[in-house]
Amino acid sequence: MQTDTGYQLVRLNNGICSVRSLADGETFHPVVGPVAEAEALYVNQLRLRERLQNQVGEFVIWDVGLGAAANALTGLRATRDLACQIRLISFDHTLEPLAFALQHAADLGYFGGYEHHVQNFLRDHRVTFHDGAQAVNWEFHHGDFPAWLESGSSRFSVPGTDKLKLELQPAPHAIFFDAYSPARNPAMWTLPLFTNLFQRLDPQRPCALTTYSRSTILRVTLLLAGFYVGVGHATGEKEETTMAANNLDLITEPLNARWLERAARSDSAEPLHEPVYRRQKLSPETWERLRAHPQFRGN
């Protein structure tokens, strides 16, 4: 089903529907579908339920790459029975895929019970609601995420006016990182971006990030940015994904010396220092920085 919005509803091989961006040539959650991927990659791997049950006060989630909101809504639904306070901050350069997805909510299957909240979110760029014992404050921040990280504050439009509002955001406890692929969107996978992201974290607030990529480039980039990095769970066609954190205790399977040796042999490991995708072996300087990372001391 194709529309003039630039998005298309597609049916995956398993019969589940998802959304495809015609302009970017990418399908969201292309193998197992939106809910299964979000549950495996974000809900389960980030141990959201366990961490929310142990959380005192607000739990902050940065949803980087809102897209059609499958990750955000699946995360909320998976924890709706818990007495918790969630501040969900979604980042993207457009709300168009979410508006398109809401029009096809019945086919997509993950909107059930949230349609009214999503309508308000689309209109006001924020919505606050209670779902049983769960309290939710969901905000949208429009624009260029790399530039926002560099700026130190968030500029977003006030609906119904031509004004911009400046706001600092609280450091996250968890990050859903779901940008388009590096080949399509290299600006979202550079070393400067992840370095700025790491600097936004609170050292006293353990935070974990998960993403679908398992590439050596990504893992080297995260390590150089300051994160501890580990192997993530399989999801769909991905035998592995990637998990990163500012606290090693949040990593179940940290990368080890054997991975480091493979990275040294890889022909595609040097981080992207600028938003241009390319494949390159590790430079001597990068190799020395990797070897000195605290994660590999003693290996």
Structure tokens, 54? 């142990």
Instruction: Compute the distance between CA of residue 246 and CA of residue 198 in angstroms, rounded to an integer.
Output: 8
- What phi, psi does 10 have (nearest 5°)? -125, 150
Closest C-alpha to 103, from 37, 7, 38, 197: 7
Model pLDDT, residue 298 = 66
Helix (H, G, I), strand (E, B) or coil at 287: helix
Residue 105's contacts (CB-CB under 8 Å, 6 or more residues apart) are: 111, 112, 115
Q: What is the pLDDT of residue 160?
A: 55
Q: What type of residue sits at position 280?
A: Q
Domains (range + CATH), the chain: 30-296 (3.40.50.150)
User: Which secondary-structure segment (H or E) carries 257?
Assistant: helix 257-265
234-245: string of b/e by CB count within 10 Å (b at 16+)?
ebbebeebbbbb
Beta strands in the chain (DSSP E): 7-11, 17-21, 26-27, 58-64, 84-92, 126-131, 134-142, 154-157, 164-167, 174-177, 208-211, 228-232, 241-245
Provide the token pair at 30.
């292309």
Local confidence pLDDT in tens for the 299 residues of the chain: 444 469 999 898 888 888 888 888 888 887 788 898 999 999 999 999 999 999 999 999 999 999 999 999 999 999 999 999 999 999 999 999 999 999 999 999 999 999 999 999 999 999 999 998 999 999 999 989 999 998 865 444 445 555 444 456 889 999 999 998 898 899 999 999 999 999 999 999 999 999 999 999 999 999 999 999 999 887 766 689 999 999 999 999 999 999 999 999 999 999 999 999 999 999 999 999 999 999 998 66
Contact (Cβ atoms closer than 8 angstroms) between residue 66 and residue 92: yes
Q: Is the dihedral of CA 125, 52, 219, 20 positive or negative?
A: negative
Question: What type of residue is 299?
Answer: N
Give the per-residue pLDDT at 164: 46
pLDDT number for residue 15: 86
pLDDT at 297: 80
Task: Give the whole-angstrom CA distance, residue 6 versus residue 239.
Answer: 31
